[in-house]
């Protein structure tokens, strides 16, 4: 793959979680989350993006979200459950992305806020129309996703490298 290869990162925030008496890591989805996640999957399928790799936080709510999203996609990508995505800082998220093999063109991360929002905001050096202000106004709600396009290798992903091509929320 050339360093001029166009690539996409989709940042998907987990669906709405419940608050039972369990550790934060083990929180399951709420009924609304189980209803919203397949809609996010259908919307992702409509983008036409075929993911080469999915990196999913190990939390119960992100795993459950992904299990509800993936049947809606045209093709199931290789999925890696990545402990470092749980409660990750912006720097930790970028470090995980930088480790992605250059054989991957389209990557989806299934994670948490504030990380997903911070990462989308940091990577989006450019944007189409009002996408960035709309994303920042919305606060990146549960089941939302951002599509960020860039050109180059995964090791080159850093602040301002991409453009925000799409932003979707369950209200859309």
Task: Please check if 61 is assigned to a binding site.
Answer: yes
Strand order in the sheet with 106-111: 78-81, 53-56, 106-111, 6-13, 145-151, 162-168, 124-127
The phi, psi pair for 10, rounded to 5°, reads -110, 130
d(CA 68, CA 17): 14
The phi, psi pair for 7, rounded to 5°, reads -135, 165
As annotated, the binding site includes: 61
As annotated, the binding site for substrate includes: 61
């Amino acid at each position: 793959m050339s360093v001029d290869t166009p690539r996409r990162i989709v940042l998907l925030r987990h669906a709405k979680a419940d608050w039972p008496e369990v550790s934060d890591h083990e929180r399951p989805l709420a009924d609304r989350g189980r209803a919203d996640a397949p809609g996010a999957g259908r919307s992702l399928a409509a983008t036409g993006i075929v993911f080469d790799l999915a990196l999913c936080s190990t939390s119960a709510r992100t795993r459950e979200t992904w299990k509800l999203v993936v049947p809606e996609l045209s093709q199931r990508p290789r999925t890696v459950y990545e402990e470092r995505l749980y409660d990750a800082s912006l720097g930790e998220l970028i470090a995980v992305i930088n480790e992605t093999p250059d054989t991957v063109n389209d990557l989806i991360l299934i994670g948490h806020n504030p990380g997903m929002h911070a990462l989308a905001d940091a990577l989006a050096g450019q944007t189409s129309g009002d996408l960035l202000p709309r994303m920042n106004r919305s606060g990146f709600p549960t089941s939302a996703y951002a599509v960020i396009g860039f050109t180059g290798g995964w090791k080159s992903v850093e602040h301002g490298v991409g453009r925000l091509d799409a932003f979707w929320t369950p209200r859309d």
